[in-house]
Amino acid sequence: MDLGLEWDFRERAFAHLRAVQLRTGGPVRQAEVADFDHLGERVRLMPTMRGIWKPRQLGAALSFVTTFSGGGIAPYEDVEGPDGLLRYKWQGVDPLNADNRAMRSAMENRLPLIYFKGIAKGLYEPIYPVTLVGEEPGQMQFVVALDEVSVGHWEHRNVIDLETVRRYAMRMTKVRVHQPVFRSVVLQAYGRRCALCNLGHTELLDAAHIRPDAEGGDPVVTNGISMCKIHHAAYDAEIIGIRPDHEIRVRDDVLVEEDGPTLRYALQGVHGQQLQLPRQRKARPSTELLDERWEKFLATA
């Protein structure tokens, strides 16, 4: 295997993927990552038929996929081991088939890969670079590290306290997997628009938590609302509240302020409007969580 080529290919593929994501706002479809240019040849970055992908130009796997399992609400089905690191199942049961060998080559050479995590039908959140650090043949799976620290933890796993490793890995999974997936799933549910003002610039959109992350709010679509940056910040600051019947309310003292167009249109202008909900019923915000948050707004206002 030409390691120089492996690394060069991967670095350019990651840069290409980042450029694609600037256009898509995060998640990608298979066809959007099917024309990476390698020495004049078009190469796919994602497998089409199976979970593991090794372009013929490479000696080791480049990417692997988990498909969305349906239901409208993205489940977090990443299997985590007792050490908190993600696990990825072999392709089939034969350890020596081409896919598993390609993964093993990437693992043995510590080559970076792309993990495409399915978040809706045909839509994937790319998580990269990730590294395969080990294999558990008994469970027919590979061990996936999300960053260099976790690679180090794995390599020194016999001398590092398991709880330390687990806590770090869980935090990395939250930042590198759950947060971007939460954002993409919520934005997708709301048609990539702010639920308050209908702004459709993906770069300016966030997934706001109804029950805050710091208070144990789950990164699931029913705990999220797609909002532009200003409405997200206003919601977090309790300047804006959302009634459980989805009416948007602006805090009294802000309603009577006088100022320029941002205050007038962006804040005062949404008072009394209805939140624009996802078409899919099961992606809509949980009434219980809205209730809880509304009580908090009332207590602050």
Interface ranges with Zn ion (CB under 5 A): 194, 196-197, 199, 228, 231
- Look-up: residue for tokens 């990417």? 63
Question: Which of 120, 225 has the CB closer to Zn ion?
Answer: 225
Are the beta carbons of 75 and 118 closer than 8 angstroms? no
Instruction: Point out which residues pair with 86 in neighbouring strands.
Output: 80, 144
Closest distance of CB 253 from Zn ion, Å: 21
Q: Is 10 or 231 the residue whose CB approaches Zn ion more closely?
A: 231
Q: Closer to Zn ion by CB, 172 or 194: give it.
A: 194
Q: Are 150 and 157 a contacting pair, CB within 8 Å? A: no
What's the farthest any 2 CA atoms get from each other in the chain? 71
Shorter beta-carbon distance to Zn ion: residue 156 or 201:
201
State how far the Cα of 123 lies from the Cα of 188, in Å rounded to an integer: 10
If the CB atoms of residues 199 and 283 are measured against Zn ion, the closer one turns out to be 199
Cβ 17 to Zn ion shortest distance, Å: 28
SS3 135: strand
Token reading at 107: 């693992």
| Secondary structure percentages of the chain, helix, strand, coil, to 5 | 40, 20, 35
Q: How far is the CB of 278 from Zn ion (least distance, A)?
A: 16
The CB-of-258 to Zn ion minimum distance in angstroms stands at: 21
| Cα dihedral: 54, 55, 58, 63 (round 10) | -40
Shortest approach of Zn ion to residue 89 CB, angstroms?
A: 41
How far apart, in whole angstroms, are the C-alpha atoms of residue 43 and residue 143?
Answer: 26
As measured in angstroms, the least distance from the Cβ of 204 to Zn ion is 8
Counting every residue written for the chain, the total comes to: 301
* Residue nearer to Zn ion on the CB measure, 189 or 199: 199
